[in-house]
Structure 1
Amino acid sequence: MYAPERQQEILRLARDGGRVDVLSLAEEFQVTAETIRRDLKALDRAGLVKRVHGGAIPAGRLDFEPALAERDPTTADEQDRIAHCALAELPTGGSVILDAGSTVARLAAALPLECSLTVVTHALPVAARLADHPGIDLHLVGRRVRHRTRAAVDAWALRAYGEIHADVVFLGTDGFSAAGGLTTPDLAEAAVRRAIVSAARRVVLLADSAKHGQSHFARFGDLADVDLLITDSGLSPEDTGAIEAAGTDVVRV
């Protein structure tokens, strides 16, 4: 099957099912995942689909947000490398805020037993991973919990973060770019992320390269708000240079 034929069939599947994912398409068409990503990139440039984490949705369904458990397993290795690199940014005996998101949750899981920190989070998966950690003084920010991300949002969460001044925040995002800034599909989550950026002296963004160039409904900051981006080697040197030119240090792992 030629690429245009495959892309036409991918578009049909996306419109029929509301979404397509890279691994399923690669298996169906008997091609590599990288070939499918190129197909989706071509369809995205044509304005026919919108790339999302792990696949694509038809253009016009920009409010779609995958649940935490549904996010792309193909980036697990990249997320693990990012999380382990982020360990070097932990303050000694200090305080950190851990955002919601799969990569930040992997950082929480990687915290060594000898680690001694005050940790604040509004993310239930993060809190669950750290609840029995002997060296963590854990503070869970509450209020309404969004089912898709299992993270607390709304006024109580915002008020709590307004009273905090942590050493470092480890931040997640659904999309990032030098031009588009930091974005996420939900306004309530965007408000909380905006609050935690303001609640720490240093901002470290943990985001795999698949999120670069993606733009979602709610914008919660600029890359200029980020001191350090830790991502994977899939971020091109050109894009890395553009981000660094905006004032953010970049580490690719």
Structure 2
Amino acid sequence: MYAEERQQAIAQLVVTRGRVSVTDLAEEFAVTTETVRRDLSALDRLRLVRRVHGGAVPAASLSAMESRLDERDVTRAREKERIALAATRFLPDDGGTIAIDAGTTTARLAGLIPPERRLTAFTHGVPIAAALAARATIDLHLLPGRVRSTTQAAVGSITTQTLERVRVDVAFIGTNGITAEHGFSTPDSEEAAVKEALVRAARRVVVLADSTKVGRDTTVSFAELGDVDVLVTDCEPEAVPLATFAAHGVEVVLA
């Protein structure tokens, strides 16, 4: 069976069954799980199926649009709390500088900064800035830009241009997708541009992402695997093996 024929058959199975796992598809088509993952990634890019952790579901079963911030905040909340707590170990010492990307997991990290820690913080996330504004030990810099209602994040050329003049010790960044081929990605091009600028502005890049993001491609890549120093997630990723992260110099921390 040619790859195109197999992918058509996989897409039909996903529609018929509603959800299929990578391991089941590998057995059914007598191919490796890596081959299945590549097939699902190709089908996801064509919007014929939607990649989810461990398999795929019909494209119509999940909205192709970004979830609103309040909706995402309650999704996998327990895992996000664990990830944020584990990420606090990468906060610099007193006098250090950090950048915090907009997002629900990064917002939890902001709330976990020790009250006595004296830091300079940059963020384009409005809720994050609001949470840090009253902290006497935080020298807060809210990045300028147009605020997107979906994510409550400042974006645009003024945001990225400001970050070109900034250098921080650590950037804490969220992502919507992680694959070996597409790197770290997000649905919106303006958000991706800010994330890319945050990566360039940091001496150390720490990505906070729950395990459902691993193995999923979204529209715009903002960093390759090798651009990131640390990935903090809630369990060992299956879609991208630990050896792949290690080969690109990424330390994976399991919360």
Alignment of 1:7-86 (within 5 A): 11=18, 38=21, 45=40, 47=43, 48-51=48-51, 58=59, 63-71=64-72, 73-86=74-87
Q: Which residue of 1 aligns with 2:164?
A: 162
Structure 1 residue 115: Cα displacement: 1.5
Structure 1 residue 233: Cα displacement: 1.3
Structure 1 residue 158: Cα displacement: 0.9
Structure 1 residues 229 and 37: CA distance shift in structure 2, 3 A: farther
Gaps of 5+ in 2: 1-13, 26-38
Structure 1 residue 134: Cα displacement: 2.2
Gaps of 5+ in 1: 1-6, 12-35
Separation in structure 2 between the aligned mates of residue 213 and residue 204 of structure 1, nearest angstrom: 18
1:228 pairs, out of 218, 227, 230, with 230
Q: Which residue of 2 aligns with 1:239?
A: 241
Separation in structure 1 between the aligned mates of residue 52 and residue 128 of structure 2, nearest angstrom: 23
Separation in structure 2 between the aligned mates of residue 160 and residue 51 of structure 1, nearest angstrom: 35
Structure 1 residue 247: Cα displacement: 1.5
Residues 180, 240 of structure 2: 8 Å contact kept: no
Residues 50, 62 of structure 1: 8 Å contact kept: no
**2:126 counterpart of 1:96:** no
1:130 pairs, out of 107, 129, 132, with 132
Residues 215, 239 of structure 2: 8 Å contact kept: no
Q: How big is each residue's C-alpha offset from its partner over 1:151-209, in whole Å with a ceiling of 9 and x where there is no partner?
A: 00111101110110111100111101222201100111111111110111111111111
Separation in structure 2 between the aligned mates of residue 37 and residue 118 of structure 1, nearest angstrom: 46
Separation in structure 1 between the aligned mates of residue 143 and residue 58 of structure 2, nearest angstrom: 33
- TM-score norm. by structure 2 comes to 0.77
Residues 215, 240 of structure 2: 8 Å contact kept: no
Structure 1 residue 49: Cα displacement: 2.6
Structure 1 residue 73: Cα displacement: 3.2
The letter for the 1-side match of 2:59 is: P
Q: Which residue of 2 aligns with 1:249?
A: 251
Structure 1 residue 234: Cα displacement: 4.3
Q: Which residue of 2 aligns with 1:211?
A: 213
Structure 1 residues 124 and 49: CA distance shift in structure 2, 3 A: same
Separation in structure 2 between the aligned mates of residue 173 and residue 244 of structure 1, nearest angstrom: 19
Structure 1 residues 52 and 71: CA distance shift in structure 2, 3 A: farther
Separation in structure 1 between the aligned mates of residue 219 and residue 135 of structure 2, nearest angstrom: 36
Structure 1 residues 212 and 91: CA distance shift in structure 2, 3 A: same
Structure 1 residues 83 and 187: CA distance shift in structure 2, 3 A: same
Separation in structure 1 between the aligned mates of residue 75 and residue 125 of structure 2, nearest angstrom: 23
Structure 1 residue 8: Cα displacement: 5.4
Separation in structure 1 between the aligned mates of residue 155 and residue 240 of structure 2, nearest angstrom: 36
Q: How big is each residue's C-alpha offset from its partner over 1:96-139, in whole Å with a ceiling of 9 and x where there is no partner?
A: 00001111001011112112100000000111111111211100
Q: How big is each residue's C-alpha offset from its partner over 1:65-109, in whole Å with a ceiling of 9 and x where there is no partner?
A: 111111273521111111111111111120000001111001011
Residues 118, 136 of structure 1: 8 Å contact kept: yes
- TM-score norm. by structure 1 comes to 0.78
